[in-house]
């Protein structure tokens, strides 16, 4: 697993501390982040691959400081957005998955092999030539995850990846997450998604207020939100 380190990390929007002096070392396979709306979860998750920069402190992945080695870190850390529409950039399903590999210096044949294997794995092979914008919500989310995983990142960060999905599709995504070898950092309001994880972090007002195995951390969170 990679080692993701937050050292006294804060992020301010204007005068407000959205993330407030957070220090964490993440080495577990599957890590969940929960918290009420506006508690700073997304901002924290976005700092793992430099989508948001800390206004104080330091974030490193495997010793690489995001501030100086952003490109290298982004090659290791894939990010899945809540709304797949924000992430799908190419006309067809196959083209969208292939787009991720454009800078990977693979031969056309190797890239095509990898794209096909990824489409197969996510049950998207039959939809490969479909216009991506006409997929269902669940299919789009699978495509967004496939388009991240085709690059074989060491770490996958996902910000509320099941929020827009119905229960069946949310379950499918959860099953895919369970089968991933990659280190996973998942922000979610769907607490059952995190029950099988290795560690759960609870955020409140930009701070970490609980950090434990899921049973204990989710219990603390349920008590917190009443
Ligand atoms: N670009 C921005 N400019 C100003 N304030 C922002 C910006 N992005 C987020 N915030 C504020 O930062 C706080 C934390 O936002 P963040 O998205 O990290 O919370 P969250 O815990 O992920 O919330 P949610 O569960 O609602 O997604 C919120 O008060 C939000 O309004």
In the chain, the domains with their CATH numbers are: 4-88+152-225 (3.40.50.300)
CA of 40 to the centre of ligand 1 (A): 6
Query: What's the confidence (pLDDT) of residue 38?
Result: 94
CA distance 136 to 17: 37
pLDDT tens readout for residues 36-62 = 999 999 999 999 999 999 999 999 999
Angle, helices 137-149 vs 108-121, to 10°: value is: 140
Query: What's the confidence (pLDDT) of residue 43?
Result: 96
CA of 127 to the centre of ligand 1 (A): 35
Q: What is the ipTM of this complex?
A: 0.93
CA distance 142 to 122: 7
Query: What's the confidence (pLDDT) of residue 30?
Result: 97
Per-residue pLDDT of the chain (226 residues; tens, 9 = 90+): 999 999 999 999 988 999 999 999 999 999 999 999 999 999 999 999 999 999 999 999 999 999 999 999 999 999 999 888 888 989 999 999 999 898 888 888 999 999 999 999 888 999 999 999 999 888 998 999 999 999 999 999 999 998 888 888 888 888 888 889 999 999 999 999 999 999 999 999 999 999 999 999 999 999 999 8
CA of 206 to the centre of ligand 1 (A): 10
Largest interatomic CA distance in the chain: 55
Tokens 């190797």 — which residue?
110
Q: Return the residue whose CA atom lies nearest to atom 28 of ligand 1.
A: 38
Tokens read off for 121: 């794995």
Sign of the Cα pseudo-torsion (23, 64, 46, 34, in order): negative
CA of 103 to the centre of ligand 1 (A): 32
Of ligand 1's listed atoms, the one at least distance from the Cα of 42 is 22
CA distance 97 to 159: 19
Secondary element (H or E) of residue 68:
helix 66-76
CA of 124 to the centre of ligand 1 (A): 33
Q: Ligand 1 pocket test: pick from 12, 33, 35, 42 the residue with the most ligand atoms within 8 Å of its Cβ.
A: 42
Give me the percent of the chain exceeding a pLDDT of 70: 100
Query: What's the confidence (pLDDT) of residue 127?
Result: 95
Query: What's the confidence (pLDDT) of residue 102?
Result: 86
CA distance 170 to 187: 14
CA distance 163 to 167: 10
Q: Return the residue whose CA atom lies nearest to atom 2 of ligand 1.
A: 13
Taking the CB of residue 91, how many other CB atoms lie within 10 A of it?
Answer: 13
Tokens 């991720």 — which residue?
100
Q: Is 206 in the pocket of ligand 1 (CB under 6 A)?
A: no
Q: Ligand 1 pocket test: pick from 9, 18, 81, 86 the residue with the most ligand atoms within 8 Å of its Cβ.
A: 18
């Amino acid at each position: 697993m990679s080692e993701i380190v937050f050292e006294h990390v804060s992020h301010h929007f204007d005068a407000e501390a959205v993330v407030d002096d957070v220090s964490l070392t993440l080495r577990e396979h599957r890590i969940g982040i929960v918290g009420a709306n506006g508690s700073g979860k997304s901002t924290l998750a976005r700092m793992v691959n430099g989508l948001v920069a800390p206004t104080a402190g330091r974030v490193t992945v495997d010793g690489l400081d995001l501030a100086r080695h952003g490109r290298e870190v982004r090659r290791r850390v894939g990010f899945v957005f809540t709304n797949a529409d924000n992430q799908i950039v190419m006309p067809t399903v196959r083209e969208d998955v292939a787009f991720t590999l454009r800078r990977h210096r693979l031969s056309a044949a190797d890239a095509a092999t990898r794209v096909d294997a990824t489409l197969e794995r996510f049950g998207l092979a039959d939809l490969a030539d479909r216009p991506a914008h006409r997929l269902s919500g669940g299919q789009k989310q699978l495509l967004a995850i496939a388009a991240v995983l085709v690059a074989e990142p060491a770490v996958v960060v996902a910000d509320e990846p099941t929020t827009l999905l119905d229960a069946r599709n949310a379950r499918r995504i959860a099953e895919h997450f369970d089968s991933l070898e990659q280190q996973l950092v998942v922000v979610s309001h769907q607490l059952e998604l995190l029950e099988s994880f290795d560690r759960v972090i609870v955020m409140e007002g930009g701070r970490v207020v609980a950090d434990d195995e899921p049973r204990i951390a989710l219990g603390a969170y349920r008590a917190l939100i009443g």
